[in-house]
Amino acid sequence: MERSKRRGMSFGATSGVITPLGLLIGLISSTSSKLAVIGGILTIAITDSLADALGMHISEESLGESKKQIWNSSKYVFLAKFFLALSFIIPVLIFNSLLVVGITSSIWGISLIIWFSFNIAKKNNESSILVIGEHLLLVILVIGLTYGVGLLVNRFF
């Protein structure tokens, strides 16, 4: 796979899991509104995907990459993040309980990060346990922090 495409896909995919998962967990722990969760995920899918694509575009320009590489990276950041972010709406539409949505979404997000991490470790000839462990620790930190912030928002606002 071309370097710019791989760079865009890996960045977009990771951000497409972490950002909507964190938002979803935070919203679930702060509100009981499925509408707020769906609206939040849609907002993230659109605005944050475009923002990350622009960020990648500017970053690639600052490195002096070719126009083709710049646009490829930007395009794949957007596509990966947009569609992965949208995938977090599916549990909200399927399940009535936001607790089940949170658990299902966490399992989905963690599974994706494990899969991405395993493939990265394999490609780089690194220990898959170490790479997965490092990335999983960060995902669990995001879930825990956003859950805690949501509880605080619920309690004080």
36/154 Cα distance (integer angstroms): 14
- Print the domain residue range for 82: 3-156
149/145 Cα distance (integer angstroms): 6
Distances 50 to 16, 24, 53 between C-alpha atoms, Å: 12, 19, 5
Q: Tell which wins on pLDDT, 5 or 44.
A: 44
Chain segment 73-110, per-residue pLDDT in tens: 999 999 999 999 999 999 999 999 999 999 999 999 99
What pLDDT is stored for residue 109 in this prediction?
A: 97
Q: Across residues 110-135, what is the average pLDDT?
A: 96
Measured in whole angstroms, the distance separating CA 52 from the mean position of its chain's CA atoms is: 11
What pLDDT is stored for residue 7 in this prediction?
A: 85
Band of pLDDT at residue 118, cut at 50, 70 and 90: very high
**Nearest C-alpha neighbor of 110 from the set 130, 81, 82, 132:** 132
What pLDDT is stored for residue 116 in this prediction?
A: 95
What pLDDT is stored for residue 37 in this prediction?
A: 97
Number of folded domains that form the chain: 1
Poorest-pLDDT segment among 56-65, 107-116, 120-129, 146-155: 56-65
Predicted model pTM: 0.91
149/156 Cα distance (integer angstroms): 11
Flag whether pLDDT at 36 surpasses 70: yes
Flag whether pLDDT at 1 surpasses 80: no
Q: Across residues 123-129, what is the average pLDDT?
A: 95
148/108 Cα distance (integer angstroms): 20
Measured in whole angstroms, the distance separating CA 62 from the mean position of its chain's CA atoms is: 24
104/132 Cα distance (integer angstroms): 20
136/120 Cα distance (integer angstroms): 13
Flag whether pLDDT at 26 surpasses 70: yes
Q: What percent of the chain has pLDDT over 90?
A: 85
